[in-house]
Amino acid sequence: GAGVSQSPRYKVAKRGQDVALRCDPISGHVSLFWYQQALGQGPEFLTYFQNEAQLDKSGLPSDRFFAERPEGSVSTLKIQRTQQEDSAVYLCASRGHGRLNTGELFFGEGSRLTVL
């Protein structure tokens, strides 16, 4: 696609519910990142994929958070048993490759999760 697409844009969940957030990266981008952005803060790294391989999940805050990218394209971030502190915008970003590429990330508009 032309840009990184995320859905849903807005999600309201009751505490304890499971949620799934989807990211469709730019076509051909090998690298995919998930970030969490709390209100008034900068994005904080959650996890990174290169193709279908999850190479770094050091930023996932707890074992309630799980991400996958089974075919190396679309990715899903799943949060189980949501808590109020999970309320944030979840940003997905993808990156191209190549010698002339500065390596900047292209971000989606994010999924805003509110846990009541």
Query: Which one, 79 or 89, has the nearer CB to other proteins?
Result: 89
Joined together, the tokens standing for residue 44 give: 């904080």
The answer to whether the beta carbons of residues 21 and 76 sit under 8 Å apart is yes
Choices 15-23, 65-73, 76-84, 103-111 (CB under 8 A): range interacting with other proteins: 103-111
34 lines the binding site for other proteins (CB under 8 A): no
Task: Work out which of 25, 77, 110, 113 binds other proteins, going by CB under 8 A.
Answer: 110
Mask: binding to other proteins, 35-74, rule CB under 8 A, as x and -? x----xxxxxx--x-x----xx-x----------------
The alpha-helical segments, DSSP class H, found in 10-112 are none
The answer to whether the beta carbons of residues 25 and 92 sit under 8 Å apart is yes
Query: Which one, 48 or 115, has the nearer CB to other proteins?
Result: 48
The answer to whether the beta carbons of residues 88 and 79 sit under 8 Å apart is no
